[in-house]
Structures are given as structure tokens and as C-alpha cells.
A and B are shown apart, each in its own frame.
Chain A
Amino acid sequence: QVQLQESGPALVKPSETLSLTCTVSGGSMTNAYLGWFRQPPGKGLEWIGYFEKSGTAIYNPSLKNRAIISPDTSKSHFSLKMSSVTAADTAVYYCTGGWGWLVDYWGQGTLVTVSS
């Protein structure tokens, strides 16, 4: 059974870059869609983007080109970098994997707070 685990700093300063890593275990995600979602405290879910098996990435336009998703060559890890963060980026961030745009696997989530 594939498992995903997010890791990275829990606190990021405003205007800096948020960096998270997702570690994949229990199976191969070589031909999968690797993604990130987020959920501000007490609010709903938002899609950030996918790195597709074709090698291209697609992102939610609401993030205004601030997000980059990239895997390592084996796809055993993949990362999210989001630049110029503000308090509005405070959220639980989930990494995901799937064989299409429907998510098959979710990480447990990691809370990232943007604050000085």
C-alpha cells in the first residue's frame, strides 16, 4: 500500500519561500500524478497543482505562478515550493498521488504557518 508523508518547516516568514517534501513509500509512483492540496484552518480544500506523468506540471491559476512541484528522478520524493508567502498561505498542506486527476493516496498533512 502506497503511503505518503509530508515534511518541512512548520513556520515560514512572510515574503519567503515555503518548501515541503513528500516521501513516497510502499510502492512505485513512477507513472503517477503527484500533487499538492491545502486547507486553511477551519476552511475548505484547495488544489495547488499536479506534476503529471507526461513530465509537465499544471497549477491552480489562483496561486499566480508562485508554486512549483518537482519530483526527484525516481519519484520517491517530490517537492512543493511556494514563493512570496503571506498569512493567507497558512494551511495544512497535503501531498497526493494518483493514476489520474482523482487522488488515490493522501498524505496525513502538515500545518505550515506564515508569520514573522
Chain B
Amino acid sequence: EVVLTQSPGTLSLSPGERATLSCRASQSVAKNYLAWFQQKPGQAPRLLISGASSRATDIPDRFSGGGSGTDFTLSISRLEPEDFAVYYCQQYATSPLTFGGGTKVEI
């Protein structure tokens, strides 16, 4: 099983600041099949990034993904009020599919 470790657990920032979230895998993620999701309270996860760096449809360009192998990052260039949420990474290359524990981005 691929274990994903996200850091930090909580990120306290202000609107307009840059956020950098990390996701480290216990083994290389094949084909860089690594996705990032945003989740707000009471809502289903929303896909932001797939394939480590490809933005999903209608996702603003302030969101960007990078990395390969075992180390991945999600960056939000300038935080908007609606970006304060929990972010999860997920690998979808190997069964069982697994998620990181999440990073909460708070004001």
C-alpha cells in the first residue's frame, strides 16, 4: 500500500499570501498518478489537479501542482477567501487507492 504523508497538518495564512502544501509517498507513484482535492465542510471533494500537475476543468490558475516520484506539492499563489479549506492528495496508480491525511488551510 502506498502511504501518503501530507505536511503541514495545518497552515495558517492570510488572504493574498502564498500556500505551499506537501505530499510525500512511501514509494514512487507510477506515472505520477497523483491528484489533489479541495474539500469544504459538508461538501464532496473537488478535484483540483490530476497527473501531479494538470489543472482540472474550471480550476483557477492560482492553483498549481508539481513534483514527481515520491515528492509532490500543491501551491496556491495568492489565497482567496474561498480557498480556506482542507486539501487532500490521492494516488490513483496502485490498488488500494490511498489519500493523505489532509492539510487544513486556515485564516
List chain A positions with a Cβ less than 8 A from chain B. Answer: 44-47, 58, 60-62, 94, 100-104, 106-109
Contact = CB atoms under 8 A, between A and B. Distances in A.
Interface of B: 33, 35, 37, 43-45, 47, 50, 88, 90, 92-93, 95-102
A72 to B, nearest CB: 23
Chain A, interface SS category: loop
Given A45-B90, A102-B33, 8 more contacts: A44-B99, A44-B102, A45-B37, A45-B45, A45-B88, A106-B44, A107-B44, A108-B43
Contacts of A94: 44-45
What 7 A-B pairs come out closest when comparing CB atoms? Answer: A106-B44, A47-B97, A101-B92, A60-B96, A45-B99, A102-B92, A44-B101
Contacts of B45: 45, 94, 103, 106
A108 to B, nearest CB: 6
B97 A101 contact: yes
A62 B98 CA distance: 11
Nearest to B46: A106
B88 A44 contact: yes
A102 B50 contact: yes
Contacts of A106: 44-45
